Chain A
Amino acid sequence: MGSTGSGNFSDYPTGRGNDNRCDKAFSVKLEDIEHCDFFKANGTVPAVGTPLSISHSKRVVAQTADGEIVGNLPTSFNYLAACLRQGYKYEGQVRDSKVGSVASVSADFAAVAP
């Protein structure tokens, strides 16, 4: 329990809490698309609906079933690295993608707890 109210000190550790951030689904706009494996190999972005998963390869990345990295996740998603280390998995698919002046890929992911 966090600090609530002003009647007493209520934020004693209980040992029962857990960070549920690893359990949360999320949507993300990937970064550095043109510099990643998929674009370099195929000259384009994955189609909408392409299955993706999250992996930790120096950065937290989204990759295809073949292991081709599509893009990096913003550093605000760095917390996923530790979640992955604990055994969480994140599976999802491409929600939107386009090749234009700047390639873009957005994706949705759901968490699979260990």
Chain B
Amino acid sequence: MTSVPLLMGEISIDVTVTPRGQEQKLRLGGIVHAARGFWASSQPFAVAAVLPSYLEVAARKYMAALGCIHFHILGTIYGAPNVTLVFDPTEVDDQEYDTLLRDERSVTFNSEFTTADLVIHSDVLAFPGVYDLAKACELLPPNARLHVDAAYDIEGVDSLSKLDRPIATILMSTSSDLFRKIGSAGIAPLVANLAPLGADVIVLKENRGGSRMHITLDNATHLLPAQLSSTVNSVGVGDVFAAAYLAHLRTGPLEAGWRATYAAAAYSQTTDPDVFASTVRRESLLSLQEMKDLGGTSLPWEMRPNKHIYLAAPDFARADRRAIERAASSLSYHNFRVRRPVQENGELPLGSDGLALDEMYRKDVDLLDHCQLLFAVPTGKDPGTLVEIGLAIAKGIPVVVYDPGRECDNTMVIAGSRCYSTDLDLCLNSVFRLLGTEGVTHHA
């Protein structure tokens, strides 16, 4: 019997909380995202699932439709419905997942599930969760290659050491707690911290800034640029990356990484599985060299604080700062250094004299000169913001305008900006394109 990869982890329900008046969007989540990645990559697979019992019938049926050839119950979740609310499906900021009754969850392993059930699987893609990963790994065949997507529920490197078996691949995202603990200083410290685990490949998924892959055998780190486009729903994108990577690993880790990047991008641009699969299969026609030559957007995590972004906005104490705070929070979440002139240089009281105004003006312009990009939120058609936009344009500093109220829908603002949009997702993409490297692939 031909070996197929085993997908191990929780099955949940993702509910995207939509604005008032729109019906909520619901789909199976957890390892089902990765399953969609396998399916789109034309890769049959098997599943060892941890889920609430009420989901079993629906999950079996859905997984079968995706090409699952064996569906095993690894464990049952009690105490919670395993439903996750998603408030920001595009991840312009922290997606604020809210898993209902998460503190009440417990898992009981299926005592009828044994290693004999898994002997045919030479590769296992594991997504840690509320279940005991080490105990689950004890059930795996001794020669099965383990690939771990350490997004959530991994406290530290010790948690992975306790698996007591070789790990072929470690995948991690910059949005994970583990990354914040051991990798935020850069890829080199991350690789060093994970070195005791002896993984063949370490992949760091960096959201809109692309990914990096460290191949231990070569001791080389490769850039995998992001393919940015309008985001419909980014939940599960990283999981799809992991699945597509494993599906193509027979071609080598580097090509597998490139194909995974394309699959992940495709998944973010639609919730229609047929459209997703159609895109992935069409893009599989491109060779590795063609994908490399096409390039994409790369902006490594630890380089972003060096990119200072001037936040041009009426950032005053008494102003409506909701859009401003949203933009600032988004940029900070993605690790850029946001410079807020009103907060840094101060806010002048009304009626300040000319000398005070002049001094403040010069401080703000000096700050602008030290920034690589101006991000404007021209709430209320703030004149100061518009002047700052003009100054930046004249200085050749790229300008991105986030205008949710479309208050400055004006030729000079739109044409002078590198991006003008009411959509923060599109503005954020532009920030990455303008501050990252485009169309260039090289070793990190």
Tell me the A residues contacting B by CB distance below 8 Å: 1-6, 9, 11-19, 21-22, 56, 58-60, 72, 74-76, 78-79, 81-83, 85-86
Contacts and interface: CB of A to CB of B under 8 A. Distances in A.
Nearest to A56: B290
B306 to A, nearest CB: 22
B274 A83 contact: no
Nearest to B228: A76
A3 B215 CA distance: 37
B120 interface: no
Q: Is the interface of B mostly helix, strand, loop or mixed?
A: mixed
B65 A13 contact: yes
5 contacts: A3-B271, A75-B225, A82-B279, A83-B282, A86-B285
B369 interface: no
Given A5-B25, A12-B65, A59-B295, 11 more contacts: A2-B275, A6-B15, A11-B27, A13-B273, A13-B274, A18-B274, A58-B293, A75-B295, A75-B297, A76-B229, A82-B283
B28 interface: yes
A79 B273 CA distance: 18
A19 to B, nearest CB: 4
A75 B439 contact: yes
Given A9-B62, A74-B433, A76-B229, A3 B278 contact: no
Say which size band chain B's interface belongs to. 35 or more
A81 B439 contact: no
Nearest to A86: B282
A11 B58 CA distance: 12
Contacts of A5: 23-26
Contacts of B275: 2, 17-19
Contacts of A56: 290
A56 B228 CA distance: 18
B65 A82 contact: no
Given A3-B26, A79-B229, A9 B297 contact: no
Contact of B274 (A16, A22, A59, A75): A16
Interface in B258-284: 270-275, 277-279, 282-283
Given A13-B274, A75-B294, A78-B296, A6 B26 contact: yes
B373 interface: no
Given A6-B15, A6-B26, A11 B272 contact: yes
A17 B272 CA distance: 8
A18 B282 CA distance: 10
Highest count of chain A CB atoms <10 Å: which of B228, B278, B286, B294: B294
Contacts of B278: 17-19
Interface in B1-42: 15-16, 23-28, 39
Contacts of B66: 13
B62 A12 contact: yes
A59 B279 contact: no
